[in-house]
Amino acid sequence: MRPETSEKKIDIENITDPKNIDIEPLKKKDFNWKRKSLLTTRDLQLEEIDLILETAKSFSEILTRQVKKVPTLRGKVIINLFYESSTRTRSSFELAGKYLSADVTNFSISTSSVKKGETLQDTAQTLVQMGADAVVIRHPDAGIPFQLANFLPQTISLINAGDGANEHPTQALLDLYTIKAVVDDLKNKKIVILGDILHSRVARSNIWLLQKLGMDIHVCGPPTLLPKIFSDFGVTVHWNINDALKDADLVMVLRLQIERQNKGLIPSLDEYHRLYGLDHKKLQLAKKNVKVLHPGPMNRGVEITSDLADDLNCSLINQQVSNGVAVRMALLYLLIFASGKP
């Protein structure tokens, strides 16, 4: 007969109860998070945005600790499913999951059965059978995360980590978190999204998100990379950079997606840099305390000069990267764990 033990059974529910971790926003009485997945910024409510940012702020404290680990998502399984290369997004989701004590697995598509012709539906079935609690997907084609959502049970959280030129909602949320750290009231503040708007999922997710906060959104780029139709998105379209930058509070520079420029959309990288590359001289047209963002990866010397990217007086690029981990911790927590609470 097995001897009786006085050891207490581990109460996972108790350990992961938000009251037992120091996440202030989650202790609010009116806390009522229902969302299970995040595929777009279009359908985010202001209350949800506030809670994501407040939760990220609480989690950011964990990142300053010697031991960056809390048991919040212990026993939960997160699968990173990246069909397209990524440095920041994939590694920050991996770190975010690990800091919350989840088990995180990266599916490498180059060595997976997708290469042998496996369908998205079969991949979804595999994820279910492996006990995934959350799937983070990046895909070169727009709409794939929405398609995958149809094949997964609603108990599994699905996060869009970038689909073609469509959306990159977690990038927009970390951009907003970074902006809010330096700008008090966003209402009517002028932000210029500059560059290859046509191919940019970051631009689209930011437009939908920042509009909700009442920002004055301007987009700027060459006509071939910024069709007039973008004015239907409720933003001001500029093909002239001087007009765009005048009195700007913030400039978000986008990567020129060189790999997608085989259709002759720009005459040359040199000319693109001369006309649309951001440098200190062009930035003088903006407000004195203007701040510059870039989601990365950067083409230094093409869409932004190295001097400007590394100018800590105005560049928020490093903060964007570190804030990405805290925002993704908040999202994983809210989507996987908090949404399961009654």
How far, in Å, CA of 32 to CA of 26, rounded?
9
How far, in Å, CA of 253 to CA of 251, rounded?
6
Q: At its nearest, how many Å lie between ligand CP and the CB of residue 92?
A: 8
How far, in Å, CA of 4 to CA of 18, rounded?
32
Q: At its nearest, how many Å lie between ligand CP and the CB of residue 297?
A: 5
Q: Which residue has the tokens 């997976």?
A: 112
Q: 76 or 201: whose CB is closer to ligand CP?
A: 201
Q: Do the beta carbons of residue 138 and residue 86 sit within 8 Å?
A: yes
Q: Does 143 bind ligand CP (CB under 6 A)?
A: no
Q: 238 or 294: whose CB is closer to ligand CP?
A: 294
Q: At its nearest, how many Å lie between ligand CP and the CB of residue 149?
A: 20
Q: Which residue has the tokens 């990866």?
A: 297
Within positions 78 to 97, which residues make up the interface with ligand CP, using CB under 6 A?
86-89
Binder among 162, 169, 222, 277 for ligand CP (CB under 6 A): 162
Residue 258 vs residues 199, 272, 301, 308, 331: alpha-carbon distances, Å: 10, 11, 13, 21, 31
Q: Does 25 bind ligand CP (CB under 6 A)?
A: no
Maximum CA extent, the chain: 83
Q: At its nearest, how many Å lie between ligand CP and the CB of residue 291?
A: 17
Q: At its nearest, how many Å lie between ligand CP and the CB of residue 88?
A: 4
Q: 26 or 176: whose CB is closer to ligand CP?
A: 176
Cβ burial of 176 (10 Å; 0-12, 13-18, 19+) is buried
Q: 86 or 126: whose CB is closer to ligand CP?
A: 86
β-sheet bridge partners, residue 108: 82
Q: 60 or 171: whose CB is closer to ligand CP?
A: 171
H helical segments located in the chain: 12-15, 46-62, 88-99, 120-129, 144-151, 169-180, 201-212, 241-245, 269-276, 280-283, 306-309, 317-332
Binder among 214, 234, 297, 340 for ligand CP (CB under 6 A): 297
Our CA dihedral for 246, 248, 252, 255, rounded to 10 degrees, sits at: 10
State the sign of the Cα–Cα–Cα–Cα dihedral 254, 259, 260, 263.
positive
Binding mask 169-198 for ligand CP (x = CB under 6 A): --x---------------------------
Binder among 239, 296, 298, 339 for ligand CP (CB under 6 A): 296
Which residue stretch of 10-18, 48-56, 289-297, 334-342 sits at the interface with ligand CP (rule: CB under 6 A)? 289-297
What residues contact 184, with CB distance under 8 A and at least 6 apart?
none
DSSP assigned state of 75: T
Q: Which amino acid is at 209?
A: L
Which residue stretch of 49-57, 115-123, 242-250, 291-299 sits at the interface with ligand CP (rule: CB under 6 A)? 291-299
Q: Do the beta carbons of residue 108 and residue 115 sit within 8 Å?
A: no
* Number of residues engaging ligand CP in binding (CB under 6 A): 10
How far, in Å, CA of 100 to CA of 97, rounded?
5
Write phi, then psi, for 237 (nearest 5 degrees): -95, 130
Q: 89 or 305: whose CB is closer to ligand CP?
A: 89
Q: Does 71 bind ligand CP (CB under 6 A)?
A: no
Q: 51 or 194: whose CB is closer to ligand CP?
A: 194
Q: 234 or 297: whose CB is closer to ligand CP?
A: 297
Residues within the interface to ligand CP (CB under 6 A): 86-89, 162, 168, 171, 295-297
